[in-house]
Each structure stands twice: as structure tokens, then as C-alpha cells.
Amino acid sequence: MRSRGVIVLIGVLVLAVATDVAVSSSPPGLTAVTALLGAVALILFSKGVLKALIRRPVDYYERLWATHGPGGAPRA
Amino acid sequence: MRDYPVLPFLLAAALVPVVGRRVGGWLVLGAPVVALAQVAAAGTGRSLTVEYYGYQLTPMRLDELSLPFVVVFVVAAFLAGLFGWTTLGTRERVTALITAGAAVGVVLAGDLLTLFVMWELKAVATTVLITASGAAGAASAGRYLMAHLVGGSLLLGGVLWHLAAVGSLDFGDLTGSPGAALVLLAVLLAAAAPPLHAWLPDAYPSASVTGTVVLAAFTTKAAVYALVRGFSGLDVLVPVGVVMALYGVVYAVLEDDLRRLLSYHIVSQVGFMVAAVGVAGPAAANGATAHAVAHILYKGLLLMGAGAVIMATGRSRLSELGGLGRRMPLVFTCTVIGALSISGLPLFSGFVSKELAVDAVRGTDLGWAVQALKVASVGTFLSVGLKLVWFSFGGPDRGLRPTRLPASVLVALVVGAALNVLIGLRPGLLYDLLPHAVAFQPFVAKQVADTLQLLGLTALVFVWLRDRVRPSPGLSLDVDWVVRGLPLLVRSRLAAARPAGGWSAPVQAVRDRTRRLADTAAAAVIDRVPAATPSTTALGGVLLAALGVVLVRSVLP
């Protein structure tokens, strides 16, 4: 089922790229390259670099308040 | 004044607390219907003016630009009322009505004073709306209120500066006004432009599920209206809009919470509108307006879909959801329609509006902006069209047993979905509402092929890297960490660095040293000038008073 979906998707894509090449005045394939690189870059950047930098536990601010806030235990 | 479309909302808000629950529900639905009838009867060109302390105010100016915003605000208020028919409490009904009325008031305002009053009324009403969800909502509402009080102060400062310089309160093109920078900052804060955006993903998911639908419809879109009205063609808005469009999707790809993900997408989608406003000309105004209208409809639908999932399962994190497609087929179908609309798939509302907005940018020499907006479109489809839909409705069945949803929720979803499909199939319905005549044709081979490439390749990458996109529980730090986290860390560091005897000894030493230096400097000055006489003191006082008068006079007209 999934592989059939991927085949249909690839068929649509081939058709779209062919249409783009036929009718586009801009460099043909620019949109396809933008989409491919954009999608991969977004996933790798968000789930790689950014995740490591900014992702914290769901209760991050509650914990921070408990350990560093007024009445909390200040860290040495 | 009787045909002022703000009045039905405010009147209904006043009546809701004193009538029964059922009648209150009808009032929430009736107010937008009456307002829409008033707008239809009045038509464009209708205005109301009043005299206020020598100033000519225009609380109502229904023209070609305000009309589409008023119509979509009224439709959004109706849909939110329908969605929350059984769940909205009295406080939420009252504040939702005031919010909708104030938003209509903002887009009808023909002068800056009315704009400011409606702007602030909306800020206060939305704050109370957020608090209705309980303790978590109250904390977020506090931060939301602080952000919007800053925005309101900037707006008031800008309006007064504009009044002092121009001598008029008319709300039109503000780009040449000396107070424009302050007004622009206030409007960009309300539009959630980074780094002034953190209030949005903080507050919107903290409201009740219907509260989020109400919030998403009005605040940022009223700001987009103010940008189109006052700052059309301001170059700097193009890069600001592009940054918004990319910033929102980058965070959305990372996000696990359904409503927080969609909140980041508001930042991204409003970025498309802001970028279009930055391009001068009628096509740009059309693009920004069309995308604002479509966005209210599809984002409302998506938030209603997410709200339905939360209501039925009690869970809001994608990492805890999955396999709901078979158990909630109607919610699934409507959410997919919303997701395809926001992704800009041909035959759905987002395609006909987003292409119009991007086309305005495409018509300039800003090729980099067009490519960046394409990447933002990729991120939109990736995070909403694929990630949100797959990990909540598809994927492995987690054994969740959703409770039965009220009929009003399902009806609101179906109506919302129908509107998005209708606009997608008949773009003329949307284009006829726009402020300028539209020559743009959305269904041409180039645009359809472009969009299918963007979405198709994104889908392939999703299939390939799906495990990497899989949501995981957590919180993404945003710029609000500077006010929520940093002060606590600084306080903690200071406490850890505290000297054994406390801070008083070193502080006292610095104070003594400063005092000695000041005494030495003063003695040196006094030695060189003659002693002040009573007459020179009086002259100094008179000069200071004159300076004060000049300053006040330069600010006031």
C-alpha cells in the first residue's frame, strides 16, 4: 500500500517537473531543487542542531523556578 | 450609529451574563449574523463620524480594504461560537464577543484614536479569554498582557507623535510620519514578528480549545490589516516577512504540542502576508488581504480539528497520539482539508491566496524572497500537512478511545472545511472581496506544476526521513527565555557569588569612594564659579519653566 503511494507520488512529480521544464521561463528544476534541499535542510537543522540547542523538558520553566526562583535552592 | 457592526457584539456581550445558557449561545451566534447583515446593508463607502473634543473621529469607515477583513472576522466569530456552543463558559462567551467586536472595530477605524481604543479593548478581552482555562492560562495571560501593554504604549506614543507632527488623526498611509516607527513596532508585535512573537506560542495553546480558535482569528490578522492600511510598500517588511515565514516553520518542525505547532504556523503564515505588504502596489495589498482571509478560515479549521482531538482524547501531544483516523473519520477528513489548504495544494483555499501573495513578491526583483517563501511552504507542508496529520491520525494505533464529540463541534468543522474547499474551487468568491481588481489566474500550468513539485518532493523526503521527524516530548526555548529564564539564572548566580559578609561591605566601600570623588569634583567646580545669588536662582527657575512650556507645546498641536 505504502509503496504504491510512493510510486503514484513519483509519477505526479515526474509530470510536474516535465510541465515545469516545458512552460517555465525561470531555470527549470529550480523549484524541485528548492523543495528537495529545503525539506532535507529543515528536518536536519530543526531536529539536529536546533533540537540540541533549545529543546528542554516540558516542565523546564517550573523546574527552573523551583531551583532558581525565590524560595528555591540557589545553585553554587 | 445603529448600523455600526461593533455594537451587536458588545450588546450581546452585555446580555450573555444575565440570560440563560441556551439564550447566551444563540446570542453568540446571532451577533455575527446581525453584524454581517449590517455590513451587507451598508456597503462600501459608508462611514460614521463623531466630534470629540475638537477632533473629528471616524469609528466606522467601511471601504474596499476593510470589507474583506470585516466579513471574515464575522464568519470566524460565528464558526468559533458554533464550535464552542456546548463548551464555552459565560466568561469565555463574553470575552470572545468583545474580542470579535473589537477586532471588527479595529478594521473599521478611520482614525488612530478609535484604532487605539479598539486595539486595547481587544488586548484586554483576549487576556481574560486566556485566563478562562485555569492556572496555566493565568500565567501565560500575564505574559501576554505585558507584551500587549508594551505594544499598546508604543501605539499610543506613535499616535500622539503623529498627531503632534501632522495635526490629524486620520488612519491612512503612515510611512512618512515621524511616529511611524513606534506604530510599526506596535503592529509588528501584534503580528508576532520575531523577536516580538514569543507571546503567541506561549499564550494561544494555554487558552481553552475554543479560546485558541478565537485568538487565532483576530489578533495577528488585525495587525496585518493595520500594516496594509498604514505601511503598504515599506521595503523592510519583505525581509521581516521572510524571517517570520521561516522562523515559524523551523519551530513547527520541532514542536510536539498540537496547538503550539499550529501557533508557530501562525507566525509563519503571517510572514507571507507581511512580505506581500512590503511590496508596493495593488497586487501586494490583494495578496496580503487574500492570504489573511484564507488563513483565518483554514487555521480556524485546523485549530478546531486539533481542539476536537484534545476534547475527545484529553491529549494534545503528537507523541501521545496516533491511529485516530479510523476512530474519528470526520475530524480526520476536515483536518486533512485544513492541512491541504494551509499547504497550498491546488483546489484548496491556501493555494489561491498564497499564490496571489507570492505572485506580488515574484513581480519584483526579490528572487531570493520568492525562493525563501518556497522553503517556508515546504516547511508548512512538512509540519502540518504531513507531520501533524500522520502522527495524530495515521501511524500506529495507540489504543486511544475518543469520547463522543458534541454535534456543534462536528457541524463547525464541516462548515469550516466546506468554506476552504469552496474558495479553492471558486477563487472568484475570494478575489471579488479584495480591495483591487484581480488579474491573477491561479490555475495555470506553471503555478500548479511548481506547487506539485514542492509538495511532492516534500512528501518523498517525509517518507524517507519520517523517523527523524517523529515528535518527541519537550519544550523549545524561544526568545521569551530572556524574560522567563535568564533573570532566574542571574539571580541564582548572584546568590552563589555572594561574599561571606553579604553585599553590604563591598557596596558600602564603592559608595564611600564615589561620594569622595563627587565631593572633590564639586569643590573644584565651586572654587571656579561665583556663588549663586537669589536672582540667578530665580532666573534659572524661569528658564527651566520656559523650557518645559516649549517642550509641552512642541508635543501638543
Contact list, A58 vs chain B (CB under 8 Å): 473-475
The mean per-residue pLDDT over the stretch A48-55 comes to 89
Distance CA B101, CA B34 (A): 12
Of B275, B291, B273, nearest to B239 by C-alpha is B275
Distance CA B28, CA A61 (A): 37
Task: Identify whether B442 is preceded by a cis peptide bond (ω within 30 of 0).
Answer: no
Confidence of residue A34 (pLDDT cuts 50, 70, 90): confident
Contact list, B473 vs chain A (CB under 8 Å): 57-58
For the question of whether the overall pTM of this predicted structure is more than 0.80, the answer is yes
- Chain A: residue whose CA lies nearest to B256: A58
Angle at B199 between CA B196 and CA B200, to 5 degrees: 100
Mutate to test the interface with B, among A46, A50, A64, A67 (most CBs of B within 10 A): A46
Angle at B234 between CA B555 and CA B275, to 5 degrees: 135
In this predicted structure, what is the pLDDT of residue A26?
66
Interface membership of B490 toward A (CB under 8 Å) = no
User: HEC string of B330-382?
Assistant: HHHHHHHHHHHHHHCCCCCHHHHHHHHHHHHHHCCCCHHHHHHHHHHHHHHHH
User: In a 3-state reduction of DSSP, which class is residue B176?
Assistant: coil
In this predicted structure, what is the pLDDT of residue A76?
42
CB contact under 8 A, B475 and A57: yes
Comparing CB atoms, the residue among B253, B446, B478 nearest residue A24 is B446
CB contact under 8 A, B458 and A39: yes
Distance CA A20, CA A35 (A): 14
In this predicted structure, what is the pLDDT of residue B508?
81
Lookup result for grid cell 529543515: A42
Distance CA B91, CA B93 (A): 5
Tens-digit pLDDT profile for residues B163-175:
999 988 999 999 9
- Taking the C-alpha atoms of B185, B187, B188 and B189 in order, what is their torsion angle to the nearest 10 degrees? 80
Cβ contacts of B168 within 8 Å, gap of 6 or more: none
Distance CA B83, CA B341 (A): 20
Backbone conformation region of residue B548, classed left if phi is above 0, alpha if psi is from -120 to 50, else beta = alpha
CB contact under 8 A, B378 and A38: yes
Distance CA B160, CA B175 (A): 15
Confidence of residue A23 (pLDDT cuts 50, 70, 90): low
Cβ contacts of B452 within 8 Å, gap of 6 or more: A12, A13, A15, A16, B346
CB contact under 8 A, A60 and B475: yes
| Average confidence (pLDDT) per 10 residues, chain B, 557 residues | 89 94 94 96 89 89 95 97 92 96 97 96 96 84 94 96 92 91 96 95 94 95 96 94 96 94 96 93 92 96 97 94 93 97 94 90 81 93 94 88 94 97 96 93 88 91 89 92 90 81 79 86 69 58 68 53
In this predicted structure, what is the pLDDT of residue B557?
46
In this predicted structure, what is the pLDDT of residue B241?
96
Distance CA B184, CA B420 (A): 31
Length of chain A: 76
Interface membership of B249 toward A (CB under 8 Å) = yes
Distance from CA of A9 to the nearest CA of B (A): 6
CB contact under 8 A, B460 and A6: yes
Q: Give the type of residue at B438.
A: V
Strands B475-476 and A55-56: antiparallel
- Tell me, rounded to whole angstroms, the distance of Cα B152 from its chain centroid: 14
CB contact under 8 A, A60 and B468: no
CB contact under 8 A, B461 and A36: yes
Distance CA B159, CA B290 (A): 28
